[in-house]
Amino acid sequence: MKTLVILAHPNLEVSRVNQRWKEELLQYPNDITIHEIYKEYPNWNIDVPREQNLVEAYHHVILQFPLYWYSYPPLLKKWFDDVFAYGWAYGTNGDKLIGKKLGLAMSIGDKKENYLPGGSVSFTVDEVITPFKASTGHVGAVALPYFAVFGASFQASDEEINQSAKEYINYIFKHQQ
């Protein structure tokens, strides 16, 4: 197994994008492990040693989620808070993430042009994800360029979502080494 995908979607059964992406990831069981945290932890009681052991086993980790309020769905934020702990991710002996490659794969409801300079969102996606990039730097990991599909709320057609699923796999394999 070469890539770990932490998939965080609170309602995967009504998802178009993340569900389709998951189906595509499942085509590569020798290369990609999917870990669905909303399924694993319905009570939000995260098994921290289990998660840390899982992350330690991979050099390449992707966090896949729908963008909610320009941020992570809440269980993924909790996952960071719990798993990226002192003495493991940072601080004394906190060296477990040094050199690992971390990436974000996001479905974004709004249109791409609204995230361009001068667009209605007022911030680019790279600006929106600065907390991720700062966190990655803090733990000595490498932040990969993000992968995203835009218009995920309404505009994106089934064809575009299918195409994005193929591009997502290419993105994963490109950064796997």
> Would you tell me which residues interact with ligand FMN (CB under 6 A)?
9, 15-18, 66-70, 107-110, 152-153
In whole angstroms, how close is the CB of 71 to ligand FMN at the nearest point? 7
Residue with the shortest CB distance to ligand FMN: 109
Cβ proximity of 35 and 7 under 8 Å: yes
In whole angstroms, how close is the CB of 41 to ligand FMN at the nearest point? 19
Q: Is 127 left (phi over 0), alpha (psi -120 to 50) or beta?
A: alpha
| Residue 118 in tokens | 């001068």
Angle between helices 158-176 and 17-25 (to 10 degrees): 50
Residue 68 or 80: the one with the smaller Cβ distance to ligand FMN is 68
Residue 2 or 16: the one with the smaller Cβ distance to ligand FMN is 16
In whole angstroms, how close is the CB of 93 to ligand FMN at the nearest point? 36
In whole angstroms, how close is the CB of 111 to ligand FMN at the nearest point? 8
Report in angstroms the alpha-carbon separations of 138 from 43, 77, 78, 100, 168. 29, 16, 17, 12, 26
Distance in angstroms between the alpha carbons of the first and the last residue of the chain: 12
Residue 74 or 137: the one with the smaller Cβ distance to ligand FMN is 74
Residue 20 or 96: the one with the smaller Cβ distance to ligand FMN is 20
